């Protein structure tokens, strides 16, 4: 296939879970395919009505506001024009003002569907809502003699809704029928307005008919009437607006107004191409048509009568096709229902690196049958509360893609940045024709980026659920990364604390001057030795530096410290490294030595005397460094044995001190 650079259009559209927006999408898709135009549908999805129906008033769709931000990503779409279905967007905006919205996007030529707009570079296509609704009410009055006709409005501030309401009011007025406030109910275009219909019927038990501003709300009306035992088409007449796909399948089939969303979508694409070619495009009010069926009380033979065998055959073929399509959709739904939990499990398994995680997302999309998909991620997640000002982010990057069944993920450093000059359309351009759905990836207040994927229109809602799961997986991955960083930081903190504790232990257990154990360290070590309960022969030495006071008083404390360190070195030279030696006081030392030799105490004492002699011969100090020692030999089994040996060694030391020099000052000839 020859590569070509396509014209790329963006479509901003909400409410895509309902019939009419889907029809618009189908029309845009059909015309774009015909003209080889690439389309990017920026999808606003709302969950509130569904959650309320399932969970009641306590449902929480608080984060639906996130969907309103997806439209801004079209500003970095690299697009040539925008098709905007404002009727499905404005209702959910914080400020429902079509002019402000149009000015936000009119850097590009824009075609607005279901909305009238008078802003530069903006063009409009809208249904003839007024005439369509007027014809419904007039039919009920003139053909069925209805006088008390109730009305369920669409969303507040919606142009379609306002025009349809005006058509209702004017038709009633033209036939001199009074409209009272209790005859009007506020709806939201969803199928889940049962409470509003119940209340409307409670206030109007004598109602002849209810006119709904769209088909979805009319389905709710049929459900409520059946619940009340009212036979639609006999006891009360109901009508809708849209001619939705289910309008023929309701019981009885629904009288409605055809507004051809598919044709309007096709026209929107044609108009945009004319605009891009520099041609003038007029405002268009697209005609509507009354479709009469049994829900308004008309009999089938008077409206949708099948008069010939050919007609019957065509109708039978259509129904057979619908049945086959529904069966296929059911099988497809079952398959995807199995795939979805597998996908969730796959994505939430721990992956060591972000590139691998993004690749896993693309592989998951591939397994689900999506041949082309793109994952765009923000450098850092954006926290958006729905109240503060929102602007399109400037740090969106292409993280991974699946093209023609081949998956690829970029490293963090290599991810291409999305800009207005090189936008989403340029980064997804591969020479082929594509129609991409663009889903926002978020979890609660945190936005992570976009999923751009080529999926069938019938699967829009399913891949919306997939996008939510991917958003949740991204959130979990972010939490795992934070947790890993916290673990690493905790490990480093614990290591630092351990090092500090080791230093504190050293300081608390060792003498800073000599580097020997202090009294605390000596005591703890000896207690640990006694913990094993083994009996062994030991020798406990108590030693004093002779005449430390004389050294301090005569030569100063620096020399006193030198003499103490010299004593420590002398004692260390006389025992093994595995034996314990400590400075337990200012001039006091203690050693614990293990030896089975019977005369070891005498040998140790002689070693110390000889070591002192050798030191003094080479020290060139004006004083002698000498130790008086007392050694007690004993059997060590528990700590109490050492305590008793302490007493004996101390007494022996006391006796030894009596034999020390009277003065440690050297004579001149001894220096």
pLDDT at residue 58 above 50?
A: no
242-283 pLDDT tens trace: 998 888 888 899 999 999 999 999 999 999 999 999 999 999
> What is the H or E stretch that residue 399 is in?
strand 396-403
In this prediction, residue 399 carries a pLDDT of: 97
Domains by residue range for the chain, with CATH:
129-262+281-309 (3.40.50.2300), 519-670 (3.30.70.270)
The pLDDT mean for the chain works out to: 87
Integer Cα distance of 453 and 370 in angstroms: 7
Integer Cα distance of 394 and 388 in angstroms: 17
| Torsion sign (Cα): 430, 436, 442, 445 | positive
Write the DSSP string, 385-424.
-SSS-----S-EEEEEEEETTEEEE--TTTPPBP-SSS-H
Better-predicted residue by pLDDT, 468 or 17: 468
**Mean of pLDDT values over 351-380:** 89
DSSP label at 359? H
Write the DSSP string, 97-150.
-HHHHHHHHTTS-EEEESS---STTEEEEEE-HHHHHHHHHHHHHHHH----EE
Integer Cα distance of 255 and 303 in angstroms: 10
CA nearest to 20, candidates 265, 224, 374: 265
Cβ contact 640:623 at 8 Å: no
Integer Cα distance of 351 and 474 in angstroms: 11
Residue 14: how many other CB atoms lie within 10 Å: 25
144-161 pLDDT tens trace: 999 999 999 999 888 999
Integer Cα distance of 660 and 550 in angstroms: 13
| 217 confidence band (pLDDT: 50, 70, 90) | very high
Integer Cα distance of 607 and 629 in angstroms: 11
Cβ contact 13:47 at 8 Å: no
605-650 pLDDT tens trace: 999 999 999 999 998 899 999 999 999 999 998 889 999 999 999 9
Percentage of the chain exceeding pLDDT 90: 60
Backbone angles phi, psi at 108, to 5 degrees: -105, 150
In this prediction, residue 390 carries a pLDDT of: 86
Please tell me the number of Cα atoms within 13 Å of 404 on its side-chain side. Answer: 5
Q: Which residue has the tokens 């689900």?
A: 368
Question: Alpha-carbon dihedral of residues 252, 253, 257, 262, nearest 10 degrees?
Answer: 150
Q: Which residue has the tokens 């044995």?
A: 641
In this prediction, residue 55 carries a pLDDT of: 44
pLDDT at residue 326 above 70?
A: no
| 534 confidence band (pLDDT: 50, 70, 90) | confident
Integer Cα distance of 93 and 104 in angstroms: 13
22-43 pLDDT tens trace: 999 999 999 999 999 999 999 9
DSSP label at 18? S
| 305 confidence band (pLDDT: 50, 70, 90) | very low
478: its two tokens = 């972010």
Integer Cα distance of 469 and 442 in angstroms: 9
Q: Which residue has the tokens 């069938």?
A: 456
> What's the longest Cα–Cα distance across the chain?
146
| 319 confidence band (pLDDT: 50, 70, 90) | low
Structural Rg of the chain based on CA atoms:
45
DSSP label at 580? E
Integer Cα distance of 319 and 325 in angstroms: 10
In this structure, of 290-294, 563-567, 617-621, 622-626, the range with the lowest mean pLDDT score is 617-621
Integer Cα distance of 197 and 240 in angstroms: 14
Residue 649: how many other CB atoms lie within 10 Å: 25
Peptide bond into 252 cis (omega under 30): yes
CA 306 to chain centre: 55
449-471 pLDDT tens trace: 999 999 998 888 888 888 988 99
Which residues fall within 8 angstroms of residue 145, CB to CB, at 6 or more apart? 208
CA nearest to 439, candidates 73, 177, 167, 117: 73
In this prediction, residue 48 carries a pLDDT of: 63
475: its two tokens = 């959130």
CA nearest to 129, candidates 90, 160, 98, 95: 160
In this prediction, residue 174 carries a pLDDT of: 97
Per DSSP, what are the bridge partners of residue 79? none
pLDDT at residue 202 above 90?
A: yes
Integer Cα distance of 318 and 329 in angstroms: 16
Task: Calculate ∠ Cα 105-108-110, nearest 5°.
Answer: 75
In this structure, of 123-132, 311-320, 371-380, the range with the lowest mean pLDDT score is 311-320
pLDDT at residue 302 above 50?
A: no
Integer Cα distance of 365 and 118 in angstroms: 42
In this prediction, residue 129 carries a pLDDT of: 96
Burial class (CB in 10 A: 0-12, 13-18, 19+), 229: exposed
Laid out side by side, the sheet with 627-636 consists of 580-583, 588-594, 536-545, 627-636
Write the DSSP string, 207-260.
--EEEESSHHHHHHHHHHHHHTT--BTTTBEEE-SB--TTTTTSSSPPBEEE--
168: its two tokens = 């209702």
**Mean of pLDDT values over 68-78:** 94
């Amino acid at each position: 296939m020859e590569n070509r650079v396509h014209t790329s259009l963006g479509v901003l559209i909400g409410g895509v879970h309902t019939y009419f927006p889907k029809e618009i999408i189908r029309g845009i898709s059909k015309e774009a395919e015909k003209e080889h135009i690439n389309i990017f549908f920026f999808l606003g999805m709302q969950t509130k009505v569904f959650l309320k129906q399932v969970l009641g008033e306590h449902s929480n769709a608080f984060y639906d506001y996130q969907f309103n931000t997806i439209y801004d990503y079209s500003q970095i779409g690299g697009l040539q024009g925008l098709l905007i279905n404002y009727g499905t967007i404005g209702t959910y905006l914080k400020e429902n003002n079509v002019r402000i919205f149009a000015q936000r996007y009119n850097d590009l030529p824009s075609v607005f569907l279901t909305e009238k707009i008078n802003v530069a570079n903006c063009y409009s296509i809208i249904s003839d809502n007024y005439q369509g609704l007027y014809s419904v009410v007039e039919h009920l009055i003139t053909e069925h003699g209805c006088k008390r006709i109730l009305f369920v409005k669409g969303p507040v501030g919606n142009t379609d809704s306002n025009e349809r309401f005006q058509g209702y009011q004017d038709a009633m007025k033209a036939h001199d029928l009074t409209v009272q406030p209790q005859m009007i109910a506020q709806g939201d275009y969803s199928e889940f307005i049962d409470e509003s219909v119940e209340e409307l019927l409670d206030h109007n038990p004598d109602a002849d008919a209810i006119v709904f501003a769209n088909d979805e709300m009319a389905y709710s009306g049929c459900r409520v009437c059946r619940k009340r035992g009212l036979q639609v088409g006999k006891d009360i007449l109901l009508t809708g607006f849209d001619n939705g796909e289910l309008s023929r399948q309701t019981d009885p089939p629904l009288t409605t107004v055809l507004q051809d969303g598919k044709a309007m979508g096709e026209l929107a694409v044609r108009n945009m191409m004319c605009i891009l070619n520099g041609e003038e495009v007029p405002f268009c009010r697209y005609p509507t048509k009354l479709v009469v069926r049994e829900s308004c009380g008309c009999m089938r033979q008077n409206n949708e009568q099948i008069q010939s065998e050919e007609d019957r055959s065509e109708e039978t073929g259509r129904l057979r096709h619908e049945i086959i399509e529904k069966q296929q959709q059911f099988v497809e739904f079952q398959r995807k229902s199995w795939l979805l939990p597998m996908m969730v499990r796959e994505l939430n398994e721990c992956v060591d690196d972000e590139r691998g995680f993004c690749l896993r997302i693309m592989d998951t999309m591939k397994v689900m049958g999506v041949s082309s998909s793109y994952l765009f991620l923000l450098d850092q997640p954006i926290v958006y509360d729905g109240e503060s000002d929102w602007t399109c982010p400037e740090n969106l990057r292409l993280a991974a893609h699946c093209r023609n069944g081949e998956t690829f993920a970029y490293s963090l450093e290599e991810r291409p940045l999305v800009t207005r000059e090189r936008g989403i359309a340029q980064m997804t351009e591969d020479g082929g024709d594509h129609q991409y759905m663009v889903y926002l990836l978020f979890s609660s207040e945190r936005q992570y980026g976009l999923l751009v994927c080529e999926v069938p229109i019938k699967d829009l809602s399913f891949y919306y659920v997939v996008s939510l799961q991917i958003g949740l997986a991204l959130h979990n991955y972010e939490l795992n990364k934070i947790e890993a960083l916290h673990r690493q930081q905790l490990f480093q903190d614990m290591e630092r604390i351990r090092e500090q504790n080791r230093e504190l232990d050293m300081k608390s257990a060792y003498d800073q001057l000599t580097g020997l154990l202090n009294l605390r360290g000596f005591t703890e070590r000896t207690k640990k030795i006694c913990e094993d309960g083994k009996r062994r022969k030991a020798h406990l030495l108590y030693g004093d530096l002779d005449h430390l006071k004389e050294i301090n008083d005569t030569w100063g404390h620096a020399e006193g410290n030198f003499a103490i360190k010299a004593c420590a070195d002398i004692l260390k030279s006389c025992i093994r490294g595995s034996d314990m030696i400590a400075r337990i006081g200012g001039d006091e030392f203690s050693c614990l030595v293990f030896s089975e030799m019977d005369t070891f105490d005498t040998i140790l004492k002689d070693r110390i005397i000889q070591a002192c002699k050798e030191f003094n011969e080479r020290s060139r100090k004006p004083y002698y460094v000498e130790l008086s020692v007392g050694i007690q030999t004993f059997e060590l089994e528990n700590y109490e044995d050492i305590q008793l040996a302490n007493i004996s060694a101390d007494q022996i030391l006391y006796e030894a001190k009596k034999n020390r020099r009277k003065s440690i000052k050297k004579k001149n000839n001894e220096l």
